[in-house]
Amino acid sequence: MMPAIPKPRPRLLEKRDRASVTAAIDRAERAKCRQRSGGRCEVITVSLVPDWAGLAPFRCVGRPCFRQASENHHLIGGSGRRGRGKSMLAEHRLDVCRQCHQEITGHVLVPVGEGRKDAATVRFERVK
C-alpha cells in the first residue's frame, strides 16, 4: 500500500499571501514617505530665474501655504515596475499634492538631469 501524499496548498492562497506581504511593505514604505514629507508636497521645482548660485529651487506652494500631500508618486516607473522592487521603497517615492502629481504624469514637470532618481535629489523643471 502506498503512503498518502498530502495535497499541496492551493495556488490562490499562495498568491494571496504574497499580495498581503507586498501590501504590508507598501504601507510601511508609504508611511516612511509621509513621515519624511510631514504631510506637505515634496516637489521641488527649479526656477528659470537665476539666483546667487545659478538656479533657484523652490518647494511647491499653494494658495494660503504649502500644499498638503494627498498622493504618492513613484519615481521609478514603467510597465510593471511600480510597486515592485526598488520602486516600492520610500527613497524612490515622493509625497505630492494632486496638482503636482497631475503635472508630473502629464509631463509638464520633468526631472532635471538623468542622474539617480531618488527623493533626496530629484528636482523638477516646468516645460510648458
pLDDT in tens, 61-88: 654 456 788 898 888 876 666 667 788 8
Burial of 70 (0-12, 13-18, 19+ CB in 10 A): middle
pLDDT the model gives residue 33: 92
Distance CA 31, CA 33 (A): 5
In sequence order, the β-bridge partners of residue 44 are 59
Does residue 28 register a pLDDT over 80?
A: yes
For residue 33, which of 70, 68, 72, 60 has the smallest C-alpha distance?
72
pLDDT the model gives residue 112: 83
pTM above 0.95, yes or no: no
**Which residue has cell 499562495?**
14
Domain boundaries, the chain: 11-126
- 14 compared with 51, residue with greater pLDDT: 14
